[in-house]
Structure 1
């Protein structure tokens, strides 16, 4: 993995953006995320993790980073979204680490809904397309039905009580992110190189590890817009996601997740991050 640029001051928030052949969408995404974070009264950083793109993705990020020193670029071989997100989460410097899809299907402004829950003691706060107040914009009906069917399987086999494990907008306390993502097995250090776009259920494994370790998880309804340029293949990716859930369950049966969690407890010298009013 190659890292470009650095930030000397520890940020409160890190935004991790996985990117595979996102040359077209990234300029708008980086402008919007950077503008939002710049308007907040706390230090922040943006990490774009390139998943072995074959277009001009890295060039776009490098050009933007030259004018914005809080932007970093990490380069991976093409190993899929799960490995890409994991790379960014483990490399982030912020006290709160959010990963967000490159198409901003959930607007970055929705972060405002997640931040207060860290002050209330939650270690993991995730955006949800379900529940009162959630908005699903322009989603095909069949996709919603497929999503609910998948969630039924997830709750049956792995993570109970979470209505939406697949929204690409999840925030973790820094030490908790380090603990969870370093323990992931499906798309960890042994992840193989792949071809083409690859959407997986790495979210399920992350949440399962977090739940099993006793971390408090808060599901927050957010706005989400279905992207017409989505890279998701409904049939192929649904099958892969189902297999991932079964693999998580099998790993658990074999005791592979039975490790004590390693995050440090908060004390007076390491307080929970406080929400700060926008400028």
Structure 2
């Protein structure tokens, strides 16, 4: 059963609506036909564990999995008898495929096989089978049903049952605390070797993942979570492999470097995560109605938070400038500085615009909005001077607060309708005669100069 190739160019536009997979009924032994599930077992020099692992996994799937499946042995540059054993297993067992890569790296092996697999659900597990296989069907069921985009096994849930030493336990929990503190990750267990992903999501997400080693899992999950994809977690029973060859120190250093790289890319907004956006489900209430803007409540909340902080920043600047210049000059300087900061914050936090594209134009439009606010507040100050030339400083601040509140409503409307219009909605629902965006443009700036996958030479044996 050869692995059907997929196009190396990721599809353009947002992801389609998440639907239940249309799968064929089970055939004898559950192994014939196009596989619904492709379970990848990445290996490097695993001649002792490979055969018992594959036979146990194959037997479990044949007994319990109700759809056609495939087990893919991904040999990443083994130098022992792993290749010979993998080739023999592919000949002896139905729905077992052996493929060899020329270079090491668990992430590289997974990306290469997942990028070429036609199965709608892709999974992987470590060769030591530390995770109880009874969690496999609960892992992939939410992906088949269309409920979730990715699924992970977690050893850190209260209902998980884990047997391992204190050193590995401490390292695992410390790493997840680092992810929560630095990348705001909400998933509980990044490194458990028991994960699954829908094929359509993998084709969009894999080109954005740079790591080819142990950090591959974490990067995949962080980008998926930041893009708003749904990650399902399954508590697992897990027994540590005392003979594991993983170098904890080297892996930790590699992971920390990956955390820094991904965090920097997310802060700079250079990742085109909008291509991973999902529409809502099939409930008619979730569909976009023409003429009705979406995300209003969330944008209002973000705008209010940014506005409150900007107002405090403005008042602080005004009080500082007022000690050396006139009220009108202090107001103009404070508004100018706070306007630039306000536009940048609303661009990223309120309206979800990332990257440097159109940033200069947005700031220029923001300055126009600033001019309107300046006219309102300066006019208020002029009116106050005309009414009471000897007014107190507190009165002056109160007038400015009222004037800024009046300008806030107009500023929000201008930002929403003019500076940051909802272009993604129009792209998702183009006019009937509108041409489709070229694939190289839809892929986003981060795709430029990136290698396409699979790049590694691989030999597949069935």
TM class, shorter-chain normalised? Answer: 0.7 to 0.9
Distance 2:107 2:157 in 1: 26
Alignment partner of 2:275: what SS? coil
Distance 2:203 2:75 in 1: 20
- In structure 1, the partner of 2:147 is 121
Deviation at 1:234, TM superposition (A): 2.0
- In structure 2, the partner of 1:260 is 274
- In structure 2, the partner of 1:96 is 121
Deviations 1:60-107 (A, max 9, x none): 111011122411122112231111121122222322111111111113
Match for 1:132 among 154, 158, 168?
158
Asked whether the 8 Å contact 1:159–1:207 carries over to 2, the reply is: no
Asked whether the 8 Å contact 1:89–1:99 carries over to 2, the reply is: no
Distance 2:66 2:174 in 1: 41
Q: Which runs of 5+ in 1 are unaligned?
A: 188-198, 269-279
Whether 1:52 aligns to 2:66 is no
Deviation at 1:265, TM superposition (A): 7.1
Distance 1:159 1:53 in 2: 36
> After superposition, where does 1:69-218 map in structure 2 within 5 Å?
69-118=94-143, 119=145, 121-137=147-163, 139-187=164-212, 200-218=214-232
Asked whether the 8 Å contact 2:226–2:273 carries over to 1, the reply is: no
Whether 1:35 aligns to 2:49 is no
Deviation at 1:129, TM superposition (A): 0.2
Q: Which runs of 5+ in 2 are unaligned?
A: 5-31, 283-462
Alignment partner of 2:61: what SS? helix
Distance 2:38 2:57 in 1: 11
> After superposition, where does 1:260-279 map in structure 2 within 5 Å?
260-261=274-275
- In structure 1, the partner of 2:412 is none
Q: Which one is further off, 158-167 or 15-24?
A: 158-167
Deviations 1:20-56 (A, max 9, x none): 0011101001101111111122100011111100011
Asked whether the 8 Å contact 1:48–1:88 carries over to 2, the reply is: no
- In structure 1, the partner of 2:241 is 227
Distance 1:265 1:69 in 2: 38
Distance 2:80 2:279 in 1: 43
Greater Rg by CA: 2
Instruction: Name the structure where helix makes up a greater proportion of residues.
Output: 2
Deviation at 1:115, TM superposition (A): 3.0
Asked whether the 8 Å contact 1:6–1:69 carries over to 2, the reply is: no
Asked whether the 8 Å contact 2:152–2:234 carries over to 1, the reply is: yes
Asked whether the 8 Å contact 1:47–1:92 carries over to 2, the reply is: no
Root-mean-square deviation (CA, aligned residues, Å) is: 2.3
- TM-score, reference length from structure 1: 0.83
Instruction: Name the structure where strand makes up a greater proportion of residues.
Output: 1
The runs of at least 4 aligned residues of structure 1 exceeding 4 Å deviation read: 4-8, 262-268
- In structure 1, the partner of 2:40 is 16
Change (3 A) 1:152 1:136: same
Larger RCO: Structure 1 or Structure 2 (Cα < 8 Å, ≥ 6 residues apart)? 1
